[in-house]
C-alpha cells in the first residue's frame, strides 16, 4: 500500500461518494431496463454500448470486444447464435501501472414467476431498487464505475490505470466462455498487464470473498427399450430406471455429501456442505409407450477439500454398480461444465486495501468468505494465474436469482465508499 492517505482526502472521497449516489442509482435503473436475459443472452450489444457510452462520458478510453458468429457458436453453445459483446474502459492516472481492473457481468438469469413488480422496471421502493440483476449484478457494475468517479469528483487522480469491464455469459458458465473467459484468452486480463482484479458480485458489503466452491454441471441418460404401454413386460422402462437411480443418489450419496463441510466460511452458511441437486428431467414420448430414454441434468457443488476426479467417480460408481446388479440398466454420463474450488490469500495488498476501507466505512473487520456458486474468478485465478483477484460488491447473495430481486441503496452507497477508498489506498492518489 502507498503512504497513508491524508485525513482531508479521505473525507473528500466519502463526501464525493454521497454526491454521485443519485447518478449511480439512475445508471443502475437504466441497466436493469435492458433485459440481458441469459440464456439465451439477449440485448448484449445494447447493454455493452450503454455502459461504454457512460464510461466514455466519464473520461475512459472504450473498447468493445466482439466475437465472430463462429466464435459465438463455439463459446456460447446455448446462446441461440445471439451476438456477444464485452466492453472495457481504461482510465489512465499519472502512470500506466499498476493496473486495477474492475469487472462485472451484464447478463441476468431469466425472470421466473412470482414477481410483484416489473422485473425490468428498476422501481425504487422503501430504499431498495427492484429488478432482475439489481443485486446480481448490475448493482456491482454501477458501484464500480461510480466509486472511481467519486475519486475524480473529489479532485483526485490515481497513480496507475483503472480498467472497467462489463462481460457477458457469466450466468451460463462454461469451461470456456464468451465473456471473462474470452478476455483472459485474448490477453486483456493477464499477469503481464493486470495487477489486481475486483469482481463486484454481491457477497455483502462487509465481506471480502476470496474464492468459490467447485462445481460440476452434467447430464445423465438412462436407456431402455420401447414397447406398447399395455405390454410393459416386453420393454425396459428408462424412466423407472432413472427414478430408481435418483432415489438411490438422494438416499445414499446425499448424506455423505452433507458430512463434508467447507473449510472456510461461506455465505450463506446453509451452503457449507457439499451438495447434489437434480435440475431437469425429460423422458418418454407418449403415455402408451414404455419409454426408451430418460435424461436428467444435475448440479454437484464441491467444498474446498474435494477434487473434481473424486466427485465424478463417486457419482459414476453409483451408476456402474447398477449396471452390475441390473443387466438391463444402461446409461451415459456427460458434463457441460466443471471447475475445482478457488481460494486466494488474504495476505495481499489488494485484500488489505479493501479490509482497511471496510474498517473505515463500516467500522468492522471484514469477513473472508467463500461464495457458494462459482464465478468468473476462476478464469482470472486458474486460467490467467493472477492471484490478486477478489469478489467485493454491493448486495446480498440471497437476493440473486429470486423473484422481486432487489438491492438496498444504502448498500450501493457503502460499496461505492469502500471501493473508492480501497482504490485510493491501493494505487495512491494525488491532487493533479
Q: Could you say which of 107, 136, 163, 376 contacts Zn ion (CB under 5 A)?
A: 136
Output phi, psi for 302, to 5 deg: -105, 140
Least distance to Zn ion from the beta carbon of 28, Å?
15
User: Judged by CB, which is closer to Zn ion: 215, or 257?
Assistant: 215
Q: Would you give the binding string for Zn ion spanning residues 50-89, x where CB under 5 A is met?
A: ----------------------------------------
User: Judged by CB, which is closer to Zn ion: 202, or 235?
Assistant: 202
User: Judged by CB, which is closer to Zn ion: 103, or 356?
Assistant: 103
Residue nearest to Zn ion (CB): 136
Q: Would you give the binding string for Zn ion spanning residues 155-194, x where CB under 5 A is met?
A: ----------------------------------------
Q: Which residue stretch of 9-17, 130-138, 155-163, 177-185 sits at the interface with Zn ion (rule: CB under 5 A)?
A: 130-138
- Give the separation between CA 51 and CA 145, rounded to whole angstroms: 9
Q: Which residue stretch of 80-88, 136-144, 252-260, 391-399 sits at the interface with Zn ion (rule: CB under 5 A)?
A: 136-144
- Give the separation between CA 202 and CA 313, rounded to whole angstroms: 33
Least distance to Zn ion from the beta carbon of 101, Å?
17
Least distance to Zn ion from the beta carbon of 323, Å?
39
Least distance to Zn ion from the beta carbon of 44, Å?
15
Least distance to Zn ion from the beta carbon of 170, Å?
6
Least distance to Zn ion from the beta carbon of 357, Å?
22
Q: Which residue stretch of 1-9, 65-73, 135-143, 230-238 sits at the interface with Zn ion (rule: CB under 5 A)?
A: 135-143
Q: Would you give the binding string for Zn ion spanning residues 192-231, x where CB under 5 A is met?
A: ---------x------------------------------
Of 187, 152, 180, whose CA–CA distance to 166 is shortest? 180
**Per CB under 5 A, 137 contacts Zn ion:** yes
- Give the separation between CA 368 and CA 362, rounded to whole angstroms: 15
**Count of residues for the chain?**
432
User: Judged by CB, which is closer to Zn ion: 212, or 241?
Assistant: 212
N-term to C-term CA, the chain: 20
Query: Which cell is 78 given?
Result: 446455448
* CA distances to 17, 43, 107, 144, 374 from 188, in Å: 29, 23, 20, 18, 21
User: Judged by CB, which is closer to Zn ion: 201, or 396?
Assistant: 201
Q: Which residue stretch of 118-126, 131-139, 327-335, 421-429 sits at the interface with Zn ion (rule: CB under 5 A)?
A: 131-139
**Per CB under 5 A, 37 contacts Zn ion:** no
Least distance to Zn ion from the beta carbon of 347, Å?
26
Give 196's strand partners: 100
For Zn ion, the binding residues (CB under 5 A) are: 136-137, 201
Amino acid at each position: 500500500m502507498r503512504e497513508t492517505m491524508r485525513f482531508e482526502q479521505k473525507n473528500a472521497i466519502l463526501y464525493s461518494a454521497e454526491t454521485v449516489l443519485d447518478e449511480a442509482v439512475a445508471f443502475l435503473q437504466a441497466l436493469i431496463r435492458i433485459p440481458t436475459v441469459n440464456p439465451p443472452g439477449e440485448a448484449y450489444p445494447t447493454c455493452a454500448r450503454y455502459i461504454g457510452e457512460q464510461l466514455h462520458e466519464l473520461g475512459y478510453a472504450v473498447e468493445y470486444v466482439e466475437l465472430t458468429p463462429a466464435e459465438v457458436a463455439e463459446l456460447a453453445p446455448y446462446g441461440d447464435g445471439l451476438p456477444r459483446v464485452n466492453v472495457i474502459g481504461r482510465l489512465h492516472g499519472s502512470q500506466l501501472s499498476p493496473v486495477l481492473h474492475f469487472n462485472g457481468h451484464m447478463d441476468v438469469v431469466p425472470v421466473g414467476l412470482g414477481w410483484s413488480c416489473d422485473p425490468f422496471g428498476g422501481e425504487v421502493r422503501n430504499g431498495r431498487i427492484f429488478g432482475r440483476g439489481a443485486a446480481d449484478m448490475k448493482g456491482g457494475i454501477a458501484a464500480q464505475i461510480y466509486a472511481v468517479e467519486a475519486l475524480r469528483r473529489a479532485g483526485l487522480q490515481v497513480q496507475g490505470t483503472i480498467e472497467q469491464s462489463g462481460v457477458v455469459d457469466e450466468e451460463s458458465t462454461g469451461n470456456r466462455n464468451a465473456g471473462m473467459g474470452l478476455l483472459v484468452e485474448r490477453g486483456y486480463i493477464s499477469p503481464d498487464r493486470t495487477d489486481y482484479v475486483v469482481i463486484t458480485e454481491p457477497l455483502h458489503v462487509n465481506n471480502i470473498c476470496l474464492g468459490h466452491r467447485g462445481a460440476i454441471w452434467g447430464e445423465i441418460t438412462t436407456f431402455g427399450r420401447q414397447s406398447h404401454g399395455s405390454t410393459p413386460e416386453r420393454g425396459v422402462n428408462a424412466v423407472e430406471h432413472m427414478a430408481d437411480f435418483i432415489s438411490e443418489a438422494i438416499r445414499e450419496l446425499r448424506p455423505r455429501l452433507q458430512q463434508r463441510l467447507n473449510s472456510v466460511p461461506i455465505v450463506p452458511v446453509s451452503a457449507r456442505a457439499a451438495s447434489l441437486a437434480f435440475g431437469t428431467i425429460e423422458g418418454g414420448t407418449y403415455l402408451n409407450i414404455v419409454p426408451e430414454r430418460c435424461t436428467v441434468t444435475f448440479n454437484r457443488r464441491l467444498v474446498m477439500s474435494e477434487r473434481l476426479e473424486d466427485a465424478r467417480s463417486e457419482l459414476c460408481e453409483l451408476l456402474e454398480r447398477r449396471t452390475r446388479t441390473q443387466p438391463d440398466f444402461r446409461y451415459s454420463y456427460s458434463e457441460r461444465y466443471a471447475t475445482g474450488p478457488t481460494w486466494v490469500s488474504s495476505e495481499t495488498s489488494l485484500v488489505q486495501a479493501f479490509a482497511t476501507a471496510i474498517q473505515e466505512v463500516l467500522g468492522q473487520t471484514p469477513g473472508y468468505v467463500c461464495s457458494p456458486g462459482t464465478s468468473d474468478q476462476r478464469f482470472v485465478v486458474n486460467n490467467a494465474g493472477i492471484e490478486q483477484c477478489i469478489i467485493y460488491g454491493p448486495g446480498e447473495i440471497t437476493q440473486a436469482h429470486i423473484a422481486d430481486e432487489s438491492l438496498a441503496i444504502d448498500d450501493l452507497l457503502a460499496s461505492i465508499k469502500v471501493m473508492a477508498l480501497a482504490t485510493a489506498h491501493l494505487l495512491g492518489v494525488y491532487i493533479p
